[in-house]
């Protein structure tokens, strides 16, 4: 590798190095604060190195990895999300009797895995990145070992993720058998062979693995249980970093400029998108656990992002990316509020925990309201502009069926967001403003996220320009 | 700039009032009152400064999202101006009428009230379709909180229903807006959401019809139009008095305003094609609302259903396709805002005193509260269309115009006025006249309550006797609408 290649790959290298440093530091002495600080510094350093890497792109390193401005945008997104997760984890873990330090190590590894997905251009790097992410997640989900529900969620995820990985592998093998190439660009080629059996079957099996990670219907069955069982920061991590890496991968390799995805694959993806939007929102209606509600809503939100992917054209990829950025900001904020409200004994997960919250802790409730309204897509929030871009992308390719499903299902979605909002503003007996200490890192993170939700909702121009520039490198 | 300031004043006023409430609730009320009053005075001064001018009085435009050609474009013409005056007038009344009704969390209440008004102001001023949609949605959230926190027994149900209906229809409009902008780009190469640039977009007839329906459904839900009206009785009944006043007086008017401002000029052909259908729906609304109003036992619900009936006239007037009917529709919008607002305030006053809204619990109130009952009678008469009061002028002009377009529908619509007599008299007789079987002994109107109802009565008389200033003000705007909608007098039978 020459110097330019090192520069280009520096975000990944820094992340891996940080993981090693953190591991050694744990071996020397266990100190929660030090490890958390090392991790955060590593993530921030990796984020900063993106600006240096910009000078060395576009660059392909071996046949496995590709660094271009598209990868950099997504890596930036993932690293930001990871740093917010770390900030929320600190206060959360501090309250719990458990070895805390390895948590950060696993977060680092999982984030690295997700970043590898973003930059991979070969079956091998794809699978390695995926497994690095999944294996770290098995542990993270069941990290709180004295919680039975956590263990159950971890095992559920382990079994299902392993089987979906094997389906994915088989799919990759079928595509390889037909084409003799292990490059991810074979996906797009497989779209063309809609008549022949092996590539299409391979593609479907690949979609199983991809769909599992994205938690779209019909591969969504694990989502509510895992969201509910995992510790709150890990739930936030699954909702953002884990899905973001996989979405970046399929957006890069499934993306078709021009008229969007059509043919058999287009039909199947459209069915998946429609089913996700409707099922996600409908299943959330009767839930009473906020984590489960957000789990089902995440299924629907992936469906919305798929609409932009399917639409393609000039706007498809930027719209999907903006949507993801807006969704990440919002969902991190929502889980952040929940993390702050949790106490050492239990997490604030039930709607009843939020009853009358506005009168006890007006600022937190106000932020949570803003996050929920952003998820519902009300103007002035990031979620609205995300939806606006997705709808514009869909309308410019005349994908009316998808758009109408989006409209109807997001109205259904509004209902359960309003249920939580109504609970927060309800009158209860306990109405005195409560004074309680908020952990500093989480408070800072939440303040930044709130600012971002409104910034992305009011002044989208800078991010949109960056995303459009990056999406051009998709060709 | 002055237009942006109108909105900013309300936004900051809301925040100031919220902060002030932690010291004293009365201070919060006064602050809210002063801020709306400033807007009211500003709007009047814009009016006087531009008397007799051409169509547009003032406008301002700033770049916002350049990649999509979205601008912060506000402008005011006669129609917007009259609507703004109504907004601030009713806003002041809403604050005054909740002076003693709202005792809990006063600051947050006034915050929401002022923010709803800010959203409504934005709706009446936006000249960019994206911006219009933004304000359209922004009205909802504070209104939802107003109903959901300070409402009556079934408030959560009513608030959620209101939000969902409006949201679904609003998203349909958003799709139509986006599609219109994209079609405009395909034909001209420029992406823009600006109202005046989109006006000239050439559309296939079938596309225009679909897009028009997208806009129409959003306005139809707000207006509300039978059969999309079911949220209205619930929301009006469960809202606190100030909420009902704003809902009936202003939010419904945004629907009518949208039809006049956007649907008619953007889709003239499609509007003409669908006019007979729309007029029929309007007449159904008139009769249906009136008949249901007669059957209500809850006074507030009765008033709510009269709105459905009155707004039917507005729809009839808008789609009759001639100047007279359109002017009638605007007069009806203004006078309905005042008369129905006043009726809701009266119901609020009664409920505050009697803790019930059931007509069967009332009766003979004239004996104990002569002034309040007298005021009630005036507004009940206004609502049933007594000549000399505002609603009569509006309904008369609408019927006059609609008669040119379609005689049989107009005859049916006239029956609605007959039914209006029934419910108007039911309010008068059921609540105020006759013996006093429950032996109520209640305090009559106080000074503050006179300060609310007195000006409203004066306005009703003014519109009823001399509506010319309003007509002169809105005429240039309506004339522009008419230009794009050629006279439709063919359907005459």
Residues of A in contact with B148 (CB under 8 A): 422, 425
Residue of A359, A380, A422 with shortest CB distance to B148: A422
Which of A115-119, B51-55, B470-474 is modeled with the greatest confidence?
A115-119
- Report domain extents, chain A: 258-475
- Across residues A106-132, what is the average pLDDT? 94
Cβ atoms of residues A259 and A391 within 8 Å: no
Shortest alpha-carbon distance between residue A64 and chain B (Å): 35
Please indicate, yes or no, if residue B380 is contained in any of the structural domains.
yes
Domain count, chain B: 1
- Is the minimum CB–CB distance between A469 and chain B shorter than 8 Å? no
Whether the Cβ atoms of residue A38 and residue A105 lie closer than 8 Å to each other: no
Q: Which residues contact B266 (CB under 8 A, 6 or more apart)?
A: B180, B198, B199, B201, B211, B212, B215
- Mean pLDDT value of segment B400-420: 90
pLDDT at A1 over 80: no
pLDDT value at position B484? 56
Q: Is residue B328 part of a domain?
A: yes
Res. A280: pLDDT tops 80: yes
What chain A residue is nearest to B164 in terms of C-alpha separation? Answer: A411
In DSSP notation, B350-385 reads HHHHHS--BGGG---HHHH-HHHHHHHHHHHHHHHT
pLDDT recorded at residue A225: 93
Q: What pLDDT is attached to residue B190?
A: 86
Q: Testing the interface with A: which of B15, B64, B65, B177 to mutate, by most A Cβ within 10 A? A: B65
Q: Model confidence at B486, in pLDDT bands (50, 70, 90)?
A: very low
Residue B186: closest C-alpha in chain A: A396
Position A99 confidence tier, pLDDT thresholds 50, 70, 90 = confident
pTM to 2 decimal places: 0.93
Q: What is the mean pLDDT of residues A397-401?
A: 89
**Angle between helix B129-138 and B140-150 (nearest 10):** 10
Q: Tell me the pLDDT band of B489, cut-offs 50, 70 and 90.
A: very low
Distance CA B42, CA A87 (A): 49
Residue where the block lists tokens 């079957």: A201
Whole-number pLDDT of residue B493: 34
Residue B178's pLDDT band (cuts 50, 70, 90): very high
Q: Is A99 helix (H, G, I), strand (E, B) or coil?
A: coil
Instruction: Please give the pLDDT value at position B227.
Output: 85
What's the mean pLDDT in B268-277?
A: 90
What lies within 8 Å, CB to CB, of A398 at 6+ separation is none
- Chain B residues with CB under 8 Å of A460 CB are 65
Average pLDDT of chain A to the nearest whole number:
90
Here the ipTM equals 0.91
User: Is A403 in Cβ contact with B175 (below 8 Å)?
Assistant: yes
Q: Look at residue B412 and tell me if it is in a domain.
A: yes
Cβ–Cβ gap A411/B168 under 8 Å? yes
Residue pairs between chains A and B whose CB atoms are closer than 8 Å:
68
Best interface-test mutation with B: which of A388, A424, A432 has the largest number of B CBs within 10 A? A388
Cis previous bond, A218, omega within 30: yes
Give mean pLDDT, residues A283-305: 93
Structural domain includes residue B82: no
List pLDDT tens digits, range A183-217: 888 877 776 655 677 888 888 899 999 999 999 98
Model pLDDT, residue A194: 58
Pick from A379, A425, A461: CB nearest B65: A461
pLDDT in tens, A342-370: 888 778 888 888 988 888 888 999 999 99
- Averaged pLDDT, A38-61: 92
Compute the distance between CA of residue B122 and CA of residue B5 in angstroms, rounded to an integer: 11
Cα B141 to Cα A377, A387, A451, B75, B438, distances in angstroms: 12, 18, 19, 24, 41
Q: What digits encode the pLDDT tens for the residues A220-263?
A: 999 999 999 999 999 999 999 999 999 999 888 887 666 667 77
User: For B70, which residue in chain A has the nearest alpha carbon?
Assistant: A461
Q: How far apart are CA B63 and CA B61, in angstroms?
A: 7
pLDDT score, position A198: 80
- Sorting pLDDT into bands at 50, 70 and 90, what band is B488? very low
Q: What is the pLDDT of residues A4-26, one digit of tens each?
A: 888 999 999 999 999 999 999 99
Asked if residue B296 belongs to a domain, the reply is yes
* Strand ranges inside B170-283, DSSP E: none
Chain centroid, CA B141 distance in Å: 17
Closest CB from B148, B164, B182 relative to A415: B164
Tokens of B360: 């069967």
Is residue A180 very low, low, confident or very high in pLDDT (cuts 50, 70, 90)? confident
pLDDT for res B490:
38
Mean per-residue pLDDT of chain B:
89
Q: Indicate yes or no: CB of A407 within 8 angstroms of CB of B171.
A: yes
Model pLDDT, residue A257: 64
> Does residue B252 form part of some domain?
no
Distance of alpha carbon B350 from alpha carbon B153, whole angstroms = 17
- Distance from C-alpha of A215 to C-alpha of A370, rounded to nearest angstrom: 25
Q: Which residues of B touch A464 (CB under 8 A)?
A: 65, 67
Residues of the domain holding B295: 274-493
CA distance B168 to chain A (A): 6
Give helix B25-49 / helix B2-21 axis angle, nearest 10°.
Answer: 170
Question: Mean of the pLDDT values across residues B180-190?
Answer: 90
Distance, in Å, from the CA atom of B92 to the CA atom of B84, rounded to the nearest integer, reads: 12
Residue A434 pLDDT level (bands cut at 50, 70, 90): low
Q: Which pLDDT score is estimated for A403?
A: 94
pLDDT average, residue stretch B396-424: 90
Task: List phi, psi (to 5°) of B242.
Answer: -60, -40
A401–B contact, CB cutoff 8 A = no
Average pLDDT over residues A118-145: 93
pLDDT of residue A433: 66
d(CA B260, CA B79): 9
Mean pLDDT, to the nearest integer, of A35-40?
94
Q: How confident is the model at residue A36 (pLDDT cuts 50, 70, 90)?
A: very high
Q: Tokens 């999509």 label which residue?
A: B68
For the beta carbon of residue A27, count every other beta carbon within 10 angstroms: 8
Q: In this structure, what are the phi and psi dihedrals at residue B59, rounded to the nearest 5 degrees?
A: -155, 160
Q: Report in angstroms the alpha-carbon separations of B384 from A7, B294, B402, B414.
A: 80, 12, 19, 12
Kindly tell me if the per-residue pLDDT of A412 is higher than 90: yes
């Amino acid at each position: 590798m020459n110097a330019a290649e090192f520069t280009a790959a520096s975000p990944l290298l820094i992340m891996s190095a940080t993981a090693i440093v953190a591991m050694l530091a744990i071996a020397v002495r266990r100190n929660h604060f030090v490890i958390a600080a090392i991790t955060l510094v590593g993530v921030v350093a990796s984020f900063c190195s993106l600006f240096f890497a910009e000078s060395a792109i576009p660059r392909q390193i071996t046949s496995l990895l590709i660094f271009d401005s598209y990868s950099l945008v997504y890596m930036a997104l993932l690293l930001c999300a990871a740093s917010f997760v770390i900030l929320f984890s600190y206060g959360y873990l501090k309250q719990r009797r458990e070895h805390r330090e390895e948590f950060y190590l696993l977060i680092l590894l999982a984030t690295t895995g997700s970043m590898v997905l973003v930059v991979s251009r070969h079956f091998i790097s794809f699978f390695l990145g995926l497994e690095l992410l999944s294996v770290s997640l098995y542990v993270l989900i069941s990290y709180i070992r004295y919680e039975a529900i956590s263990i159950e969620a971890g095992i559920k995820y382990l079994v299902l993720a392993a089987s979906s990985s094997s389906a994915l592998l088989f799919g990759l093998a079928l595509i390889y058998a037909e084409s003799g190439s292990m490059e991810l660009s074979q996906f797009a080629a497989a779209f063309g062979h809609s008549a022949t059996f092996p590539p299409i079957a391979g593609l479907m099996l690949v979609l199983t693995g991809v769909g599992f990670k994205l938690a779209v219907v019909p591969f969504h069955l694990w989502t509510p249980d895992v969201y509910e069982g995992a510790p709150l920061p890990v739930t936030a991590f699954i909702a953002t970093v884990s899905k973001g890496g996989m979405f970046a991968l399929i957006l890069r390799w499934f993306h078709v400029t021009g008229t969007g995805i059509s043919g058999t694959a287009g039909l199947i993806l459209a069915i998946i998108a429609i089913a996700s939007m409707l099922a996600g929102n409908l299943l959330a209606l009767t839930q009473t656990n906020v984590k489960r509600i957000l789990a089902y809503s995440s299924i629907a939100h992936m469906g919305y992002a798929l609409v932009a992917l399917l639409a393609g054209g000039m706007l498809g990829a930027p719209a999907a990316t903006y949507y993801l950025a807006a969704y990440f900001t919002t969902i991190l904020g929502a889980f952040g509020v929940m993390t702050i409200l949790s106490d050492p004994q239990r997490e604030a997960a039930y709607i009843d925990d939020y009853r009358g919250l506005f009168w006890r802790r007006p600022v937190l409730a106000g932020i949570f309201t803003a996050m929920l309204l952003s998820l519902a897509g009300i103007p002035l929030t990031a979620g609205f502009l995300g939806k606006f871009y997705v709808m514009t992308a869909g309308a410019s390719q005349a994908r009316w069926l998808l758009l109408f499903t989006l409209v109807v299902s997001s109205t259904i979605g509004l209902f359960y967001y309003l249920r939580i909002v109504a609970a927060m503003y309800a009158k209860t007996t306990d109405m005195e403003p409560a004074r309680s200490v908020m952990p500093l890192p989480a408070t800072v993170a939440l303040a930044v996220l709130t600012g971002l939700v409104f910034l992305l909702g009011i002044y989208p121009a800078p991010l949109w320009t960056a995303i459009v520039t990056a999406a051009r490198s998709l060709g | 700039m002055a237009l942006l300031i109108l909105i900013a004043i309300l936004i900051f006023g809301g925040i100031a009032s919220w902060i002030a409430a932690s010291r004293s609730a009365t201070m919060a009320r006064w602050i809210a009152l002063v801020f709306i009053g400033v807007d009211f005075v500003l709007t009047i001064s814009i009016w006087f400064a531009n008397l007799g001018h051409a169509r547009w009085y003032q406008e301002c435009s700033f770049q916002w999202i350049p990649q999509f050609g979205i601008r912060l474009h506000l402008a005011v013409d006669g129609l917007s101006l009259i609507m703004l005056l109504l907004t601030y007038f009713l806003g002041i009344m809403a604050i005054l009428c909740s002076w003693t009704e709202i005792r809990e969390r006063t600051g947050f209440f006034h915050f929401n009230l002022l923010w709803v008004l800010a959203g409504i102001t934005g709706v009446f001023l936006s000249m960019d379709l994206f911006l219009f949609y933004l304000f359209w949605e922004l009205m909802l959230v504070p209104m939802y909180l107003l109903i959901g926190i300070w409402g009556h027994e079934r408030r959560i149900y009513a608030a959620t229903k209101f939000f969902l209906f409006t949201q679904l229809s609003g998203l349909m409009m958003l799709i139509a807006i986006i599609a219109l902008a994209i079609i405009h780009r395909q034909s001209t190469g420029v992406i823009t959401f600006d109202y005046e640039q989109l006006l000239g977009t050439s559309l296939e007839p079938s596309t225009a019809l679909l897009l028009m329906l997208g806009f129409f459904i959003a306005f139809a839900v707000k207006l509300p139009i039978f059969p999309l009206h079911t949220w209205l009785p619930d929301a009006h009944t469960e809202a606190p008095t100030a909420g009902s006043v704003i809902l009936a007086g202003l939010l419904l008017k945004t629907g009518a305003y949208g039809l006049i401002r956007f649907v008619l000029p953007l889709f003239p052909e499609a509007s003409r094609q669908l006019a007979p259908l729309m007029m029929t729906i309007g007449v159904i609304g008139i009769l249906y609302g009136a008949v249901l109003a007669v059957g209500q036992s809850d006074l507030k619900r009765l008033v709510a259903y009269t709105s459905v009936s009155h707004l039917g006239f507005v729809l009839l007037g808008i789609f009759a396709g001639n100047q007279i009917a359109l002017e009638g529709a605007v007069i009806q919008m203004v006078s309905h805002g005042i008369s129905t607002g006043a009726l809701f305030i009266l119901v609020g006053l009664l409920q505050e005193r009697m803790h019930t809204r059931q007509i069967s619990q009332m009766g003979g109130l004239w004996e104990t509260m002569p002034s309040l009952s007298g005021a009630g009678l005036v507004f009940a008469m206004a609502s049933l269309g007594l000549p000399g009061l505002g609603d009569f002028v509006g309904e008369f002009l609408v019927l006059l115009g609609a008669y040119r377009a379609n005689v049989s529908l107009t005859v049916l619509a006239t029956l609605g006025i007959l039914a209006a007599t029934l419910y108007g008299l039911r309010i008068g007789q059921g609540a105020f006249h006759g013996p006093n079987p429950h032996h109520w002994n209640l305090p009559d109107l106080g000074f503050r309550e006179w300060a609310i109802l007195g000006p409203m009565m004066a306005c009703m008389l003014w519109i009823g006797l001399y509506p010319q200033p309003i007509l002169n003000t809105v005429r240039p705007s309506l004339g522009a609408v008419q230009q794009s909608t050629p006279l439709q007098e063919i359907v005459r039978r």
